[in-house]
Amino acid sequence: MPGGPADKPVVKHGEKMARQHDHRAMMIADFRRRFLVSLALSIPVLLLSSEVQGLLGLEETIKFAAEPYISWALASIVYFYGGYPFLKGFIQEARSRSPEMNTLIAVAITAAYVYSSAVVFGLSGTVFFWELTTLVSIMLLGHWIEMRSVLGASRALEELARLMPSEAHRLMPDGRVMDVPLEELSVGDRVIVKPAEKIPADGAVVSGETSVNEAMLTGESLPVYKKAGVPVMGGSINGEGSITIEVKKTGKDSYLSR
């Protein structure tokens, strides 16, 4: 019944999904911000690199004594600010002894930053600041796009999950009808579906006739006629008739879950 104990898990689940959405949205915004900052700082680093200057013919146009130190300062911001998610992920992966992509990225940008910094302050060699900043920017862009895709897919799956009702009218052996949470349904149970209600589980009609709207599941725009012996899908919407169905599949085996 509305407001009863069976509703509480649904409310809690909705609150949990909302918190997950907020957390993912914050992470997406954070990656976007880090990407834009890193990209903006990568442009002057590229212009100050000897390779890009040679490619564009700017060796004499952009040439001053403080050039290496400016590149180092800009690359430092990109390394610590833009690279923070990867460095943090590397520490977590190292603690769990399960190196993955964050470890690869963190090792690459750290090696480039430490060696190039040493070159700026006296070591003989070549700096890799533009490689460092562009790598961080590209990885941030990739993670930003990936997380946006994950959030979109998560929302789509949750919209599908909302197709299912929270309760079902289970027909008891003594003829009584009891409203039960979907989790309590088992294969073989008989369920009454009233007009305009959502069908709670995959099954087959055992009595009654109706038309069912399956558009959200199959794309079929017209209502589908159902009578005894015809299968029905959980999440579809019953039409004008009252029917009794026998549950055939529940949980992960249902059409909607698959």
Segment holding 64, helix H or strand E: none
Answer yes or no: do 37 and 154 share one domain.
Answer: yes
Q: Which residues contact 85 (CB under 8 A, 6 or more apart)?
A: 30, 31, 34, 102, 140, 143
> What is the phi/psi pair of residue 177, to 5°?
-110, 125
Q: What pLDDT, on the 0 to 100 scale, is given for residue 163?
A: 67
Answer yes or no: do 113 and 185 share one domain.
Answer: no
Q: Which of 112, 146, 161 is the last residue of a domain?
A: 161
Q: Which residues contact 105 (CB under 8 A, 6 or more apart)?
A: 83, 86, 90, 135, 139
In a domain, 1, yes or no: no
Distance CA 246, CA 94 (A): 52
Answer yes or no: do 111 and 69 share one domain.
Answer: yes
For 63, the 3-state DSSP assignment is coil
Number of domains in the chain: 2
pLDDT averaged per 10 residues in sequence order, the chain, 258 residues: 42 54 82 96 91 69 79 97 96 93 96 96 93 96 89 68 80 92 90 93 94 83 91 90 92 74
Answer yes or no: do 148 and 107 share one domain.
Answer: yes
CATH of the domain at 229: 2.70.150.10
Answer yes or no: do 207 and 147 share one domain.
Answer: no
Query: What is the residue range of 118's domain?
Result: 7-161
> What is the phi/psi pair of residue 29, to 5°?
-65, -40
Q: How far is CA 235 from CA 156, 175, 256, in A?
A: 15, 25, 7
Q: Which of 161, 177, 197 is the last residue of a domain?
A: 161
Q: What pLDDT, on the 0 to 100 scale, is given for residue 66?
A: 86
Answer yes or no: do 242 and 189 share one domain.
Answer: yes
Answer yes or no: do 126 and 214 share one domain.
Answer: no
In a domain, 102, yes or no: yes
**Beta-sheet pairing, 190-193 with 167-171:** antiparallel
Q: Are 93 and 102 in contact (CB under 8 A)?
A: yes
Q: What pLDDT, on the 0 to 100 scale, is given for residue 105?
A: 96
In a domain, 256, yes or no: no
Residue type at position 45: V
Q: What pLDDT, on the 0 to 100 scale, is given for residue 176?
A: 93
Answer yes or no: do 120 and 225 share one domain.
Answer: no
Q: Which of 161, 178, 202 is the last residue of a domain?
A: 161
